[in-house]
A = this chain, B = another copy of it.
Amino acid sequence: MIDLFFTPDKVAVIGASRDPHKLGYGVIRNLIKYNFKGSIYPVNRHANEILDIPCYPSIEELPDGIDLAVVVVPATYVPNVVEQCGKKGIKNAIVVSGGFSETGDEGKKLEEKLQETAEKQGIRIIGPNCIGTIDTHTPVNTTFVVGMPEQGGIGFISQSGAMVAAVIDWARGAGVGFSRIVSLGNQIDVTETEMIDLIGNDRQTEVITAYAEGISDGKEFLNTAKKISGKKPFVILKGGQSKKGAEAVSSHTGALSGSKEAYSAAFRKAGVLEARTMEEMFDWARALAWQPLPKGKRVAVLTNAGGPAILAVDAIEKAGLELAELTQETRDYLKSRLPKAASAKNPVDVLAGSGPATYTLALEALLTDDTVDAVVVIQAPQDWFLPASLAEVVGETAGLHTKPVIASIMGKASVDEALNILHKRRVPNVAFPERAASILSAMVQRKEWLNSNGESLSASEKIIPADADLFVENQDFESLIEAYEINLPPQEIVKNKTDTLKIAESIGYPVVLKLISKEQSHKSDIGGVKTGIQNSTDLKRVWNEFHQVADSNNIKPEGILIQKMLENGLEVIIGIKQDDQFGPLVLFGTGGTDVELYKDVETAIAPLSAEEAQELIDSTIAGRKLKGWRNLPAADITAVKKALIQMSKIAANHPEISEMEINPLYVLRDGDGAFAIDVRGSLGK
């Protein structure tokens, strides 16, 4: 149904104008100029025709069967216009008009009225305050923006109309062709997620790109984006990653998983590639549309000059890719075909004297080498052969193989023709070779996600232990994690010295004492934690000290926790949090008191599969440490993984827990387990 926003037969323009300076003129002009094959129905009370198309004085008088109305009347008239459209049986409207919630409270009221009207009339709305839709294949262009992008396979969804206009203008000639473009405006009805679904399923669209400032519904987005990413590459640029979310901080977990981290975790989970700039988004999209994905991360560089190749190699290493080794066979072959002083190792330098024929032989050899997953072809400017001839042979050779090739025919003034040929051959070109590394790393990322995707926790695994709800209600987080089979060290809360000594004997020295008090959440900072107590003499001394500490800090201790002291382990943190957008998050990283300083933590969307838990562990320094660092033996990663999965289940099963963290989870040697030394949390908001 909402596909008619891109494939209408009959389009009415409400507020069409004869004045070339008005938007209502621009929309009619674009429909005509960009070859809309259907019928156009301008509505204007005062004109007979606009650009030779007969006008209708009112919506009522329009013929039946209009697929789409484009509304460009002043804001205050819009609700009435939409009502009339509904009555006329029109089911889709693009409201271009601005003057709604973006202008303040009054506009907000008007927008609410518009929303109510639309719902009542059962009419789907894009906008208000948007610039409409483009489909280069239908073709239809309902915007008033001058210029139509080239036909191509990239879909672009934008929450900023200005970005659409900028991209249309910038993409012309850059070899970036589009299938569908939509500007969503204030999104009172049709959301970015619906559009992702729609454009993701469009036959002409090979890659989806989006500029998003927010997501209307995190969970829906996650589901849809993941489904679409399984079929097509999806690249997003997230604007406005404000700090405000991180300002109201109540714990490590709060500080460490701000809105930015939650979005990034969601994008990773859904297989959405997150670009850092507009240019990067379209660099990636173009390559993903045009070239096959690499099987792995081993890149060969083919060049006619040293300097640019060095920059490419630097960028390849920095992007986490590898230089392909090349087989002995390839190296021997290259040695026999290239000039004597050329480099037959990667980067392969054919030297300045070589032309398109030498490039062809070398590129063919690299593309048939099993140690090579992708090739970057660099040509530094020269003036003794036509760059366009190199473009031809690179394009042709690349087309005969199933590995990605990125070109960097360098320069600008002299290589226009070569670039046109490369674009025709669907080989992306970058003016400086460093950008090729970013492109290939995005392609590798997608390949890896596609390889690992599919395995995920099903809802049926939602097993909530008995008593869990009770523990949550009482904020007894220690019992809660025990119910979820996460281990606590042997410990007990004691009220008097005699009990303390007795318990210490039973769990065995050395022990740790902790002052328990509601007032002080960071106990260790005031001397309220004492480790390494070896015997009863020490224990008595510490007991006395604690009462002094409590007095001098004006704290009423509720008791003292006595805990078996664990030794020679590693401290990690596991936190969970409810995100406004994406629901349960889980984070993992280096634990201890400095966790907020070093920020070695990564975030993921809960619940975690075993594989996702392993990936989360692997993405941190803490994870590398657990595997055995220097002479240290490997720690019990299996226990950590289990604790992570169980914590992620707690996050998913108990949305009423707004934040909770185990810090540290104390991890012993492989086989000896992991223990939650300190557990904190809070309910609600």
Chain A contact residues, CB within 8 Å of chain B: 21, 26, 98-99, 102-104, 107, 145-147, 158-163, 165-166, 168-174, 211, 213, 237, 239-241, 243, 277-279, 304-308, 310-311, 313-315, 317, 340-341, 352, 380-384, 410-415, 431-432, 434-435, 522, 525-526, 532, 534, 538, 590, 593-594, 597-598, 600, 621, 624-625, 629-632
Q: B598 and A239: CB pair below 8 A?
A: no
Which of B21, B160, B381 meets A168, CB within 8 Å?
A: B381
Q: A277 and B169: CB pair below 8 A?
A: no
A631 to chain B, nearest CB (A): 4
29 A-B pairs (CB sep. < 8 Å): A102-B306, A103-B340, A107-B341, A146-B383, A147-B413, A160-B305, A160-B307, A160-B308, A161-B305, A165-B380, A165-B381, A165-B382, A165-B410, A166-B381, A166-B432, A169-B410, A169-B415, A170-B431, A243-B317, A279-B432, A522-B631, A526-B631, A534-B534, A593-B630, A594-B629, A597-B624, A597-B625, A597-B629, A598-B600
- What residue of chain B has the Cβ atom nearest to residue A144's Cβ? B383
A489 to chain B, nearest CB (A): 19
Bound complex: CA of A311 vs CA of B237, how far in Å? 9
Question: Which 5 A-B pairs rank lowest in CB-CB distance, beginning with the nearest?
Answer: A160-B307, A162-B305, A169-B411, A162-B380, A525-B631
Given contacts A103-B340, A160-B310, 11 further A-B contacts (CB under 8 A): A145-B381, A146-B414, A165-B381, A166-B381, A166-B410, A170-B410, A172-B413, A173-B413, A239-B310, A277-B435, A522-B630
**Of residues A159, A166, A538, which shows the largest number of chain B Cβ atoms within 10 Å of its Cβ?**
A166
Q: Which residues of B contact A317 (CB under 8 A)?
A: 243
Q: Which residues of B contact A600 (CB under 8 A)?
A: 598
Q: A308 and B629: CB pair below 8 A?
A: no
Q: Which residues of B contact A168 (CB under 8 A)?
A: 381
Given the known inter-chain contacts A165-B380, A538-B534, please indicate yes or no for A307 contacting B213, CB distance below 8 A: yes
Q: B432 and A277: CB pair below 8 A?
A: yes
Which of B163, B382, B624 meets A307, CB within 8 Å?
A: B163
- What residue of chain B has the Cβ atom nearest to residue A172's Cβ? B413
Given the known inter-chain contacts A411-B169, A598-B621, A631-B525, please indicate yes or no for A159 contacting B240, CB distance below 8 A: no
A110 to chain B, nearest CB (A): 12
Q: Which residues of B contact A161 (CB under 8 A)?
A: 305, 307
Q: A174 and B239: CB pair below 8 A?
A: no
Bound complex: CA of A172 vs CA of B625, how far in Å? 51
Q: Which residues of B contact A305 (CB under 8 A)?
A: 160-163
Bound complex: CA of A277 vs CA of B162, how far in Å? 28
Given the known inter-chain contacts A213-B310, A305-B160, please indicate yes or no for A411 contacting B145, CB distance below 8 A: no
Bound complex: CA of A213 vs CA of B309, how far in Å? 12
Q: B632 and A525: CB pair below 8 A?
A: yes
Q: Which residues of B contact A380 (CB under 8 A)?
A: 162-163, 165-166
Q: A278 and B434: CB pair below 8 A?
A: yes
Bound complex: CA of A494 vs CA of B465, how far in Å? 58
Bound complex: CA of A299 vs CA of B102, how far in Å? 24
Which of B103, B308, B413 meets A341, CB within 8 Å?
A: B103
Q: B314 and A432: CB pair below 8 A?
A: no
Bound complex: CA of A431 vs CA of B280, how far in Å? 13
Q: Which residues of B contact A435 (CB under 8 A)?
A: 277
Q: Which residues of B contact A434 (CB under 8 A)?
A: 277-278
Q: Which residues of B contact A160 (CB under 8 A)?
A: 305-308, 310
A480 to chain B, nearest CB (A): 27
Q: Which residues of B contact A621 (CB under 8 A)?
A: 597-598
Q: A21 and B384: CB pair below 8 A?
A: yes
Which of B159, B173, B279, B307 meets A211, CB within 8 Å?
A: B307
Which of B239, B590, B597, B629 meets A311, CB within 8 Å?
A: B239
- What residue of chain B has the Cβ atom nearest to residue A625's Cβ? B597
Q: Which residues of B contact A315 (CB under 8 A)?
A: 277
- What residue of chain B has the Cβ atom nearest to residue A146's Cβ? B383
Bound complex: CA of A313 vs CA of B277, how far in Å? 12
Which of B147, B165, B413, B522 meets A169, CB within 8 Å?
A: B413
Q: A158 and B307: CB pair below 8 A?
A: yes
Q: Which residues of B contact A26 (CB under 8 A)?
A: 383
- What residue of chain B has the Cβ atom nearest to residue A307's Cβ? B160
- What residue of chain B has the Cβ atom nearest to residue A131's Cβ? B352
A212 to chain B, nearest CB (A): 10
Q: Which residues of B contact A162 (CB under 8 A)?
A: 304-308, 352, 380-381, 410
A632 to chain B, nearest CB (A): 7
Bound complex: CA of A525 vs CA of B628, how far in Å? 12
A385 to chain B, nearest CB (A): 10
Q: Which residues of B contact A241 (CB under 8 A)?
A: 314
A370 to chain B, nearest CB (A): 25
Bound complex: CA of A161 vs CA of B382, how far in Å? 11
Which of B314, B341, B625, B630 meets A104, CB within 8 Å?
A: B341
Q: Which residues of B contact A431 (CB under 8 A)?
A: 170, 279
- What residue of chain B has the Cβ atom nearest to residue A240's Cβ? B310
Bound complex: CA of A211 vs CA of B307, how far in Å? 9
